[in-house]
């Protein structure tokens, strides 16, 4: 698909292929002989030594669009690429599917239930889609993360990812995770760094202000893809999800992922919480200025706490959108807070120039 959209002769190299690896035994010579072509190198994490080589290859002929490098990102690989290819590389995070890519063929509830990994999402058989996600989790924990440099017991990693799932949307408690796993806090943080760089989890940071209020300073933690989250809880069907007592946290995670996958480069996302009850699930900040707050509620008849309005006032009286599942009509709760639906949320985000 990518090759078809690039107006240049391209060569695709998969580093999981023995044939392609054989081509790169004399990698520098191979690259030099194809200086006029675009080389797409997939699964780069399987041959990190190529990162170091690319610097000298690129410097021999500096023009944009010579290489597209694909693969999973470990902390070490990111550091190595940043050091070796500084000034020669740009990073692009490839998110799972977003709703705008699948409508009107599919309802967003399908994306919420099955997650955004294309192969399992497009599988119509729910049982088979569920089994594909089970195999993905096992493969990633037992094969991919060790390749990325994480040497840890698969049993500990499975327990940790399940504990993160049970903490979905909550303030991360490293001490509790450490005690439950029987490993040091710094080890837990290192494991979570790998999970985050592998795009399995997200730690949403808190937004700080100059306010004298006591602020929560630890991040909230999420399994990024709700299909993976639901698989960890053995939720296969929509009926399973409807009976799930963590449905609200799952919905919050889904909305956050859908928004963050489309944010403009100069927009950052945070949450906001104070010790006295002011709280927002999401604060969208352009540069250093808060622009819009989101409070995410599954119910179409949401209960709005005083803390939502207080949070808006703390942040300079920014507008707040309460994002419901599918409320039929938008309406103002007060001068600062407006109720909307998931689908109409993105019209507001476009209006505010956030996506």
Peptide bond into 104 cis (omega under 30): yes
Of 256 and 216, the structure prediction assigns the larger pLDDT to 256
Question: What beta strand segments (E) does 2-89 contain?
Answer: 10-14, 38-42, 67-69
The predicted structure's pLDDT at residue 113: 98
Which pLDDT does position 260 carry in this prediction?
97
- Let me know: does 341 contact 326? Beta carbons within 8 Å: yes
The pLDDT mean for the chain works out to 92
Q: CA angle 212-213-218, nearest 5°?
A: 115
The Cα 122–Cα 133 span in angstroms is 12
Contact between residue 172 and residue 203 where contact means Cβ atoms under 8 Å apart: yes
DSSP string, 182-249: TS-HHHHHHHHHHHHHTTSEEEEPBPP-S-SS-B--SPEEEES-HHHHHHHTT--SHHHHHT-TTHHH
Lowest mean pLDDT among 142-156, 227-241, 258-272, 278-292: 142-156
**Which strands make up the sheet holding 170-171, listed edge to edge?**
170-171, 220-223, 201-204
- Residue-wise pLDDT tens digits, 74-94: 666 777 777 778 888 888 888
Which domains can be identified in the chain, with CATH numbers? 3-84 (no CATH), 97-262 (1.10.10), 263-355 (no CATH)
**Tell me, what's the pLDDT at 125?**
97
The vertex-55 CA angle with 49 and 60, nearest 5°, equals 135
235-257 pLDDT, tens digit per residue, is 999 999 999 999 999 999 999 99
Looking at residue 344, its pLDDT comes to 98
pLDDT tens sequence across 278-296: 899 999 999 999 999 999 9
Q: Rounded CA gap, 83 and 113, in Å? A: 40
Q: Given a cut of 70, is residue 320 above it in pLDDT? A: yes
- 52 Cα distance to chain centroid: 27
Residue 211 clears pLDDT 70, i.e. is over it: no
Residue 2 DSSP one-character state = T
CB–CB of 232/174 below 8 Å?
no
The pLDDT of residue 165: 98
Burial of 211: CB neighbours in 10 Å, binned 0-12, 13-18, 19+:
exposed
**pLDDT above 70 for 66:** yes
Mean pLDDT of 48-52: 86
How many whole angstroms separate alpha carbon 24 and alpha carbon 27? 4
- The H or E element containing residue 295 is strand 289-296
The whole-number pLDDT of residue 74 equals 63
Percent of the chain surpassing pLDDT 70: 97
Higher pLDDT residue, 47 or 178? 178
Radius of gyration of the chain (CA): 22
For 286, phi then psi, to 5°, come to -100, 120
Closest CA to 174 of 214, 221, 215: 221
Integer Cα distance of 139 and 157 in angstroms = 12
């Amino acid at each position: 698909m990518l090759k078809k959209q690039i107006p240049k002769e391209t060569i695709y190299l998969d580093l999981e292929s023995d044939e392609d690896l054989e081509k790169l035994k004399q990698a520098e010579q191979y690259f030099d002989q194809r200086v006029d072509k675009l080389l797409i190198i997939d699964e780069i994490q399987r041959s990190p030594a190529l990162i170091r080589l690319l610097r000298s290859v690129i410097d021999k002929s500096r023009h944009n669009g010579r290489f597209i490098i694909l693969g999973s990102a470990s902390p070490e690989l990111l550091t190595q690429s940043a050091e070796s290819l500084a000034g020669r590389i740009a990073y692009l995070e490839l998110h799972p599917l977003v709703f705008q890519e699948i409508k009107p063929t599919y309802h967003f509830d399908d994306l919420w239930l099955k997650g955004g990994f294309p192969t399992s999402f497009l599988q119509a058989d729910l049982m088979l889609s569920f089994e594909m996600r089970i195999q993905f989790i096992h493969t990633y924990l037992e094969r991919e993360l060790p390749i990325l440099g994480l040497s840890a017991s698969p049993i500990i990693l499975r327990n940790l990812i399940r504990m993160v799932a049970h903490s979905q949307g909550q303030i991360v408690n490293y001490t509790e995770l450490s005690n439950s796993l029987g490993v040091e806090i710094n080890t837990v943080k290192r494991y979570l760094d790998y999970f985050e760089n592998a795009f399995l989890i997200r730690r949403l940071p808190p937004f700080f202000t100059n306010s004298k209020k006591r602020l929560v300073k630890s991040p909230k933690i999420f399994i990024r893809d709700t299909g993976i989250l639901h698989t960890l809880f053995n939720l296969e069907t929509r009926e399973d999800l409807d009976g799930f007592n963590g449905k609200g946290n799952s919905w919050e995670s889904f909305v956050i992922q859908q928004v963050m996958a489309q944010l403009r480069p100069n927009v950052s996302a945070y949450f906001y919480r104070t010790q006295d009850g002011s709280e927002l699930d999401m604060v969208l900040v352009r540069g250093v200025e808060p622009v819009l707050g989101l409070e995410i509620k599954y119910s179409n008849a949401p209960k709005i706490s005083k803390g939502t309005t207080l949070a808006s006032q703390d942040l300079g009286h920014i507008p707040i959108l309460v994002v419901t599942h599918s409320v039929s009509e938008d309406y103002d709760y007060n001068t600062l807070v407006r109720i909307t639906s998931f689908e109409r949320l993105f019209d507001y985000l476009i209006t505010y120039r956030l996506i």
